[in-house]
Amino acid sequence: MVQAKFQASALALSLLVATATMATLATPSVAAAADERPLLMEGKTTLYQRVLSTPDCKLLPLDGAGAGIFVPAFSQYYVYADEESRYKVGTNATGKVVGYLDKSCVVPWKQQLAMLFTNPANRNRALIFEQESTLDRIIDQDDGEQYYQQLYQQVEEQGHAEGVISIEPKEYVDYQKNFYLLPILQSEESMFPDGSYVYKHEIASITDKNAKSASTSIEQGKTTVGEAQGAQLGAGAAGSNTDGSDVDSAIVGFKTAIVFVIDSSISMQPYIDRTKQAINTIYKDIEATHLNDSVQFGIVSFRADVRQVPGLEYTTRMFLRPGEATSAQEFNAKVAQLKQATVSSAKFDEDSYAGINMALQDINWQQYGGRYIVLITDAGALDADDPQSSTGLDANALRLEAEHYGVAVYTLHLRTKIGKNNHQKASEQYEELSYNSILKKPLYYPVNAGSVSDFGQMVDKLSQSLTTQVVLATQGKLSAGSALGASNNVTITAPKTVEEQTQVIESDSARLGLAMQLAYLGRVKGTKTPSFMQGWISERDVMDHNQLVCTPVVLVNRNQLSDLYTLVKGVLEAGIAGQLSSDDMFSQLQAMAAQMGRDPNMLKESQTLSDMGITAELLDDLPYKSRIASITPEDWYNLGSQEQENIVRGLENSLNYIQYCSSDSDRFIKLNEDADASEEVYPIPLDALP
């Protein structure tokens, strides 16, 4: 029975392109009533009830005439009336009622919360359980890990296991190319026996089972677990010891872009020259092996604010995009004018964030499997709130942007003697910027005393390691690096010598290379999801609690994004006032709550933002811990000035990121083809929320 159910669910976890399956429909009769509004969610005053369609869902006409039309799977509808066995639904919240949907073919969607899988390299693939109780058995019990291993092994070897309805794809699915919707229907916080907190998510995978691309990729990609014939899993599957010997013809087309983002301020010429030397060496190697088209380099240079010091000439400049030079000769011609500045910047800090942002935004990363930025600088970065910052973005915002594009950011930080007083600040900035969620560590490598020799060895090793991945790919091999082959309890010590640093760089690059290759395979092989599935998943790897299996995102429309901006701006202004007086801060917050129509009697007793009802209802029940919602006047008063400053700075950064999202029209997603543009949603990572 278990095996039959496992197989019947078409458990490929093949994440289907939403927009590709949404065929244009003949719109049924629409009842537009300006004064009609959807039903509110229970206990909410601003959030409406919503449902998502499943495969074979028909939208029935309002007048009862006709059999109705099939609607694309995972289309979002607002609920205007609950009529026993069906819902009266609309495509927006302003009265555009379009028909009826049977309750049997929809699932409620409470918070527009969805889940994205993280890259499965260097961790176990996630099991999805039919019942919450099975997941509880694993999380709560001391022998949960052993039980999980037993189930995992059964799925790997037999294609099924008791209580397991699916397994995550072995290849990473790029949601930018293959947009998929794994709505989170509810979340519960729990705790492992070792005290580690974890969220359990009930998810639904909703796709169009009739889409040709779904059945084709399941047939060709062999990613189904428990198919009728029990197709064996290929290279990179969890449980296999991926040692680079597994051949996969799809990996042969893997290409890599390595973009160096170089500080070209007045002190940097030796490092600029040494970077050019390293790239020239790589060009000679790839020319000899005819890999010119497979490894491509880019160069972005940055300085600081030319408004303050016009002699700097530029803040950022793109000297070379990947693909514009295929030989050392072409490369040298393109970067001949890359030299250090002839004048000093106004501050020691440079606008390195602007360089990173240019590399992310002005390069087409989609055509590359390996996506790398290498930041080289001897200075800290201008903070987001610095008047000389050209982006207004901080390290966390740019880290999120890099994750969006699937780009890994390395930092080679030249800790020169002249920058001694800047080292601590800069290292904190760049460790956050370079934090890699796959490796669970920053790709940050300090160069002690700014040694040109040490720097040369490190940049050589990094370039060679990233190029080696392409060499393996042309041979049909994956990079080495498997979560199951490594211990979860390794003690990591900071490298002290340049030899140790280069070893760490090589190891990190190999592990990250596997992740990049799995992501590439997921894109080219079209890894996708099943027709419909509903089950429970652990947010964290059961075997390694530091590894996130999935990342929740909240999908907010333009109006909600605007409301969120207003909310954070108001709290920020109160926080700035609170640095002078905690009474002023909470007086402003209470005044803000009153303007929002909150109960005056409730406000008198309120001590926190949550009590006051200021935090948007959209945020109230999300599975994340707000940094500000539970702060009381006493808490704020007891914080040191630096801690208060950190909170205010965090609010400023959240505000800048929300503003950035609002202007990024390309990333808004349409969840219903017939909905207005105002209903398009933007995926906000929960760690970007205040």
DSSP 686: G
The reported pLDDT for the residue numbered 609 is 65
Beta bridge partners of 198: 190
The reported pLDDT for the residue numbered 600 is 55
CA distances from 521 to 105, 368, 378, 477, 578 (A): 33, 11, 37, 12, 51
The reported pLDDT for the residue numbered 470 is 84
Sign of torsion over alpha carbons 334, 337, 339, 341: negative
The reported pLDDT for the residue numbered 495 is 67
| C-beta atoms surrounding 689 within 10 Å | 22
The reported pLDDT for the residue numbered 428 is 96
The ranges of the chain with pLDDT < 50 are 1-32, 207-247, 481-492, 529, 603
| C-beta atoms surrounding 594 within 10 Å | 13
The reported pLDDT for the residue numbered 208 is 38
Q: Give the pTM.
A: 0.61
34-68 b/e with 16+ CB inside 10 Å = b? eebebeebeeeeebbbbbbbbbebebbbeeeeeeb
69-107 b/e with 16+ CB inside 10 Å = b? eebbbbbbbbbbeeeeebbbbbbbbbbbbbbbbeeebbb
Residues in the chain: 690
pLDDT in tens, 583-612: 677 677 666 666 555 555 554 555 666 666
Closest CA to 37 of 86, 97, 77, 87: 97
The reported pLDDT for the residue numbered 528 is 56
User: What distance in Å separates the CA atoms of residue 605 and residue 662, rounded to the nearest whole number?
Assistant: 35
User: What distance in Å separates the CA atoms of residue 186 and residue 203, rounded to the nearest whole number?
Assistant: 8
Q: Is residue 50 a contact partner of residue 80, using CB atoms and an 8 Å limit? A: no
Please report, as a single letter, which amino acid is at residue 618. Answer: L
User: How far from chain centre, in Å, is Cα 228?
Assistant: 34
What the chain holds in terms of domains, given with CATH numbers, is 1-239+527-548 (no CATH), 249-477 (3.40.50.410), 558-688 (no CATH)
| C-beta atoms surrounding 493 within 10 Å | 7
| C-beta atoms surrounding 383 within 10 Å | 19
The reported pLDDT for the residue numbered 225 is 23
The reported pLDDT for the residue numbered 594 is 63
The token duo for 636 is: 């704020």
The DSSP-derived string for 106-138 is EEE-SS-EEEEEPP-TTSPPPEEESSHHHHHHH
Nearest-10 crossing angle of helices 423-433, 395-405: 30
CA distances from 662 to 12, 247, 682 (A): 35, 44, 8
The reported pLDDT for the residue numbered 562 is 86
